[in-house]
């Protein structure tokens, strides 16, 4: 059974991190196998693309679009069970409370990332560098945002600014790298 890495072990007094790492790995293994073997070929392709990006440590943003009932949440659950089985942190958020309940450990984006309720172009999230939440985000392998198109773009911009700020601890060039990538993705829409 894999153990969390040393950086995660150093943060075990972090209640948020402890909550995200508190899972029954035997159940996760059974769940992952059942989910993986029942994916459609299209779902398996999406799963493999995301897993390849994570395994190669490439910072990427994926947008999976599909009608309700097309199996997006099923993919999220499969990815989550796989990564948590390996001791990784996955944060699952959604724009509504109802949608957040469909993903294991899901929360609303506003509550997880402390996004202001009234966002504008100058908004940032209330995440302080060195806080438990900042340390949780630094060690997060994957963020799944369900129903992302339901949120206003200034909410994503506020989160992006905040993530770039706290990620400077790990990567001093994060301000330029993440901002450029995020702006390019925003300009495509």
CA 158 vs. chain centroid, Å, equals 16
Q: Which two tokens stand for residue 55?
A: 């395994």
Beta carbons of 103 and 92 less than 8 angstroms apart: yes
Please give the pLDDT value at position 78.
92
Question: So where are the chain's domains?
Answer: 6-119+128-150
Mean pLDDT across the stretch 159-172?
A: 81
Please give the pLDDT value at position 10.
56
- What's the pLDDT tens digit per position in 45-69? 999 999 999 999 887 778 888 777 7
Ramachandran category for residue 147: left, alpha or beta (phi over 0 → left; psi -120 to 50 → alpha): left
Distance CA 30, CA 83 (A): 13
- What's the pLDDT tens digit per position in 65-84? 877 778 888 898 899 899 98
Residue 39 has pLDDT above 60, yes or no: yes
Mean pLDDT across the stretch 120-125?
A: 90
- CB neighbourhood size of 167 (10 A): 20
Mean pLDDT across the stretch 99-105?
A: 75
Instruction: Give the number of C-alpha atoms closer than 13 A to the C-alpha of residue 158, restricted to the C-beta side.
Output: 22
Beta carbons of 163 and 156 less than 8 angstroms apart: no
């Amino acid at each position: 059974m894999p153990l969390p890495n040393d950086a995660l072990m150093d943060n075990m007094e972090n209640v948020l991190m402890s909550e995200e790492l508190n899972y029954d790995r035997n159940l996760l293994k059974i769940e992952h196998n059942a989910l993986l073997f029942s994916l459609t070929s299209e779902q398996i392709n999406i799963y493999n693309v995301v897993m390849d990006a994570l395994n190669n440590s490439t910072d990427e943003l994926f947008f999976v679009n599909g009608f309700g009932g097309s199996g997006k949440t099923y993919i999220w659950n499969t990815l989550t069970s796989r990564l948590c089985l390996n001791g990784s942190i996955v944060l699952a958020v959604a724009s509504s409370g109802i949608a957040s309940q469909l993903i294991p450990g899901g929360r609303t984006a506003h509550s997880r990332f402390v996004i202001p309720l009234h966002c504008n172009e100058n908004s940032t999230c209330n995440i302080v560098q060195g806080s438990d939440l900042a340390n949780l985000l630094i060690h997060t392998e994957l963020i799944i945002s369900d129903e992302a198109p339901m949120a206003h773009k200034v909410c994503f911009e506020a989160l992006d600014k905040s993530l770039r700020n706290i990620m400077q601890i790990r990567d001093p060039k994060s301000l330029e790298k993440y901002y450029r990538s995020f702006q390019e993705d925003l300009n495509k829409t």
